[in-house]
Amino acid sequence: MAAARNQGPSGLIVVDKPAGMTSHDVVARARRLIGTRKVGHAGTLDPMATGVLILGVNRATRLLGHLALHDKAYDATIRLGQTTVTDDAEGEVLTAPGAAGVTDDAIRAAMTALTGDIAQRPSAVSAIKVGGQRSYARVRAGEQVELASRPVTVSRFELIARRDADVAGLTVIDLDVTVECSTGTYVRALARDLGEALGTGGHLTALRRTRVGGFGLDVAQPLPDRDDASDASAQKGPRLAVLELDDAARNCFPWMTVDDRTADDVGHGRALPGIALPAPLTALFGPDGTFLALYRQVGPDARPEAVFAPS
């Protein structure tokens, strides 16, 4: 138990990622702020994007893969009239057919066609591996990469505002949209496919993730700047608020409390014959309120999915 305390807090941190940082940059800064190497993240955000990014600290890094983070929400801006090599504003312009004469009705019809259960081809400049190498690395090396389509769900693709503009004599349209989708959906690819459907080309110019699973911007905290991180050792406590592991498990999963004898079995990862869990995946707590493990219902028995009991 003392070893678990000495390594610092274990839990989740919900960060409002600033633009210009990779998800790994955020992890590196959090490590300096909290004073531990054991920090991971769930759900990568591109450097251009801002918004909700979930970090796991110490023992909670193992919790990240079990969280129900399948549904995500974004506010985005799509520019019609240009395509880019990356499908966003970070890449060089490939084509510029313009977007003159495109009506709101046509835009909404094309957005409707991209809503629901769809097959989406991910952007070539992505972290998906092709033959053991990241797709973006192959593109940067000059290869032509065409990724296979994959099933995703876009539950909401809504037009919020439209702005017509002139860029160096080219008519473009900037669309502010809201997207709610399943994990694995590329909003950049939605921008590309919307422009393709309208015959204008399209790319993403801004992206802000507003929600991941049950974690929204209302609980996200700004990331302290680099100077704060370098001076963390002089602070009296972590500069990022940590949702402690016990509270995180109770907030994120159905849960139940077990007695002392069962808690010992759970702490050692033993199966629990004849135990009926309240949900297929359940967080188990000891009598003292300590989070012990995630257990899964398998027929009449409860079996360990992941054990977190402090040693």
87 included as an active-site residue: no
Same domain, 182 and 84: yes
Does a structural domain hold residue 4?
no
45-87: pLDDT as tens digits:
999 999 999 999 999 999 999 998 889 999 999 999 999 999 9
Q: Is the pLDDT of residue 168 over 50?
A: yes
pLDDT score for 229: 52
pLDDT score for 277: 97
Does a structural domain hold residue 232?
yes
**Higher local confidence (pLDDT), 264 or 70:** 264
In a 13 Å sphere around the CA of 152, the CA atoms on its Cβ side amount to: 25
Same domain, 166 and 259: no
Does a structural domain hold residue 3?
no
105-153: pLDDT as tens digits:
999 999 999 999 999 998 887 778 877 788 877 777 777 777 889 999 9
Structural domains in the chain (count): 3
Q: Is the pLDDT of residue 102 over 60?
A: yes
Same domain, 144 and 236: no
Does a structural domain hold residue 285?
yes
Same domain, 76 and 51: no
pLDDT score for 4: 45
In this prediction the pTM is: 0.88
Mean pLDDT for the stretch of residues 159-173 = 97
Q: What is the CATH number of the domain that holds 237?
A: 3.30.2350.10
Measured in degrees and rounded to the nearest 5, phi and psi for residue 298 equal -130, 100
Same domain, 83 and 201: yes
* Mean pLDDT score of the chain: 91
**Higher local confidence (pLDDT), 243 or 233:** 243
Does a structural domain hold residue 271?
yes
Residue type, 119: A
Does a structural domain hold residue 1?
no
**Nearest-angstrom CA–CA distance, 121 and 41:** 25
- Please identify which of the residues 16, 25, 46, 105 carries the catalytic annotation: 46
Q: Is the pLDDT of residue 21 over 80?
A: yes
Does a structural domain hold residue 2?
no
pLDDT score for 1: 40
Measured in degrees and rounded to the nearest 5, phi and psi for residue 40 equal -135, 175
Tokens representing residue 130 in the block: 């092709």
**Domain range holding 266?**
253-307
